[in-house]
Amino acid sequence: MAAAAALFLAHGALAQQSPAQARRSAGRSFEGTVVAINPAGKSFTLKTSAGDVAIRVTDESDLHLMRPGDKSSITTGCFALVTGAFSADRTTIVAKGMSLYYKQGGMVEYISGSQVRGQFKRQGAAMTIQANGKLIDVQLATPLMVLTSQPLQLGDIKAGDKASTWVLETDEGNDAQVVFVERR
């Protein structure tokens, strides 16, 4: 889960954000094991290293079920997070891991020390990712960890699932912006 969480929730420098993106990036992340689900209260509880945390699911929450994928999962148009090593001029990243999302939702484009998240394009063998107005070439390392997402509803989350979430702290509680779930 730690490797997947690093792929999912790294929120580095978020340049050129809209006001809505800035609000989303002002939250915090939690990672842990789901210990309870409350469909009536539209929430679930995560057991984290710091204790239990209640997470509310709102109409704006994006829930993703993450599953292992392979190189054939990497297609043009998907929103992706690429983790790896940048070239010295930062125009190329050698991907060690990729998370491919069924929709962008509340996630923002960014480029950080070892990650880039944005719109993925594939033309023949050439692969690029566009983020913050920059086009970055993507080369695949071996081995490569690929995760893909599919839509998930609160009722699909089960006790024992591993989850990473980005929340906004509100007067009502921790409102999930994005939740990534892995079955255990």
- DSSP-derived 3-state class of residue 96: strand
**What range does the domain containing 59 cover?**
2-182
Average of per-residue pLDDT values in the chain: 85
Q: Which residue has the higher pLDDT, 3 or 42?
A: 42
pLDDT digits (tens, 9 = 90+) for 44-69: 999 999 999 999 999 989 999 999 98
Which residues pair with residue 83 across a beta bridge? 97, 115
Q: How far apart are CA 11 and CA 87, in angstroms?
A: 21
Q: Are the CB atoms for 11 and 26 separated by under 8 Å? A: no
pLDDT digits (tens, 9 = 90+) for 15-41: 334 444 444 456 899 999 999 999 999
Give the other-Cβ count within 10 Å of 136's Cβ.
Answer: 20
Q: Report pLDDT for 8.
A: 43
Q: Report pLDDT for 26.
A: 66
Give the other-Cβ count within 10 Å of 67's Cβ.
Answer: 14
Q: How far apart are CA 94 and CA 83, in angstroms?
A: 8
Q: Which residue has the higher pLDDT, 167 or 23?
A: 167
- Count structural domains, the chain: 1
Q: How far apart are CA 33 and CA 58, in angstroms?
A: 20
Q: Are the CB atoms for 77 and 120 separated by under 8 Å? A: yes
The answer, as to whether pTM is greater than 0.85, is no
Q: How far apart are CA 114 and CA 23, in angstroms?
A: 24
89 pLDDT higher than 90: yes
Main-chain dihedrals φ then ψ at residue 108, nearest 5 degrees: -105, 155
At residue 10 the predicted structure's pLDDT band, cuts being 50, 70 and 90, is very low
